[in-house]
Chain A
């Protein structure tokens, strides 16, 4: 084996870090010099590779799986920088491998965007995959929800050990019928919680939710009460307090538990799994809480209708100042019609203080049709944020924002409070 590509890649990584540049570029360099680098580095990991994919919740769920496995004493490799493309994985690997390209980890847990995951699994068949959901999102990239389902199917078919599926999402649960070689495990919800998580068919349907699934689930989320939740594992129900906020994150915890149990098998220490879960902090922009002027400021990332709905449902607007920032860059999705699949009635009482982003007027128009009062519309995020903070003195604050709007909000907030800025 020629160690040169690895060394060149590492050098590029150091150089681009010093320059403060993009995190995936070194990955591109090593991919070009040595296309088999990634597969070789990952093939030696004793517990194999876990791929996490789906429309919503990848980042938080991946973080949870990593911390659950670390809590069991495993050394875990992951693509922590949030670069969920193949190239990002290669870049993250460069930081961790020795000069011969060997990775010192017991298991790799990787968050992969649906389309890139298909490319990745051709290079590196995962031992485990965790498939969360298929919801309308970025249809301008993938075309149709059913096309996205087929992408997840290819991940499932490439998996050699266990595929962990969301029992409550009919498109995801339906993948089980085409899986022949791998084992299948499910995570699920108590029937009483099902209406909180509409699947895509139920998003617009007025008929209510489909009957509860009869599929046996390895982990079931039984109840949620604020930040406390009950999970059923092996017939035993355990209550635990969580630092994660938002019901959707807590359902992702059930997914992460099921995936960790698949990796650990009989060696799983269940009480330690719950101890690790209780300590997980929210990931970047996923219900993080910052402090501005002595008041909590929450950032809620919204990318698609179901995520926005769950975000609105998870955080009580009473007494809270609200800002919404909607951009339409490639990473946000260019099509604005998704805003019309979200109900904003819950904001009707307090209104929205400031609406911002490139598509501020699309958002303001949407709110007008739900009779939600809007204080100000300011497309420039820097100006909008100043106006918002000035106008909401003494009140806790909440900002719903799309991905690139969140980057801009964080950059600006970092000037006045402690924020981790991710480039």
Chain B
């Protein structure tokens, strides 16, 4: 683990933001980045650039002041050790995250941060790690990991393609809708055939890292929502998603 002093770094200046620029906040990129989570950020940034929008990529690491005027929040997966490192800081910024979520800020939460946005994580040995309660769900540590390709389907986004690798099994509260129904793979837990959670403008999922590249419908939902909230409209000339469509077809044909 790095002890280097951290600052909320502006890593990307807006590139000729003819139509304006969105401020995208990555939560804990240092600790929560395990499965190519950076890919999700890159996809958002490029899909904005291809449409003539700019993107400012902000980072929040443990101990940083929380930045102002955040348009979109993105959080990834980490190892158990990483989750321990961010634990206190996450509780400290929880009121801000709760306010943003209730206010309708679009968020993408993957794997580890999906779990921690819930009420509680009960580990295998009985320890209770408190979440921040944005999503009404709880996660129980399991003895075996759920690993492999996943295909799920949602009314809102169509087929969702991804890969899961988690030992926590997540159960949603009565009022919380899953993101999708699993066709292949496990999803939230080994029993229910549900994948992820969908609340306000939050998309939460176990499908890690490369969720957005192969699921442009989710990427564009997040961008459209953020742009409409900020500019009142989303000027979308469309993006050529032929390669994404072919990647989805080939991924869908692979074994679990």
Contacts and interface: CB of A to CB of B under 8 A. Distances in A.
B247 A204 contact: no
Interface string A133-153: 000100110011110000000
B243 A364 contact: yes
Interface residues of B, number: 42
Interface in B34-49: 34-39, 42-43, 46
A205 B147 CA distance: 26
Interface stretch (B113-121, B172-180, B207-215): B207-215
Interface stretch (A68-76, A281-289, A329-337, A414-422): A329-337
B36 A340 contact: yes
Contact of A366 (B35, B59, B213, B254): B213
Nearest to A374: B243
Interface in B12-47: 29-30, 33-39, 42-43, 46
Interface stretch (A251-259, A354-362, A398-406): A354-362
A337 B210 contact: yes
A369 B38 contact: no
A208 B33 CA distance: 16
A341 interface: yes
Contacts of A365: 213-214, 243-244, 247
For chain A, the bracket of interface size reads: 35 or more
Contacts of B38: 204, 340-341
Describe B's contact surface by its main secondary structure.
Answer: mixed
Given A207-B4, A207-B6, A337 B35 contact: yes
A207 B37 CA distance: 17
B79 A145 contact: yes
Contact of A336 (B1, B33, B34, B210): B210
A377 B247 CA distance: 11
B36 A339 contact: yes
A205 B61 CA distance: 11
Contacts of B34: 136, 139, 144-145
Given A145-B79, A328-B254, A204 B30 contact: yes
B2 interface: yes
A234 interface: no
Given A136-B34, A334-B163, A369 B43 contact: yes
Contact of B35 (A139, A170, A202, A205): A139
A305 to B, nearest CB: 8
A358 B250 contact: yes
Interface in B99-122: none
Contacts of B145: 143
Given A337-B39, A358-B254, A377-B246, 12 more contacts: A140-B147, A143-B165, A144-B80, A170-B1, A205-B30, A336-B251, A338-B36, A340-B39, A340-B210, A359-B247, A361-B249, A366-B213
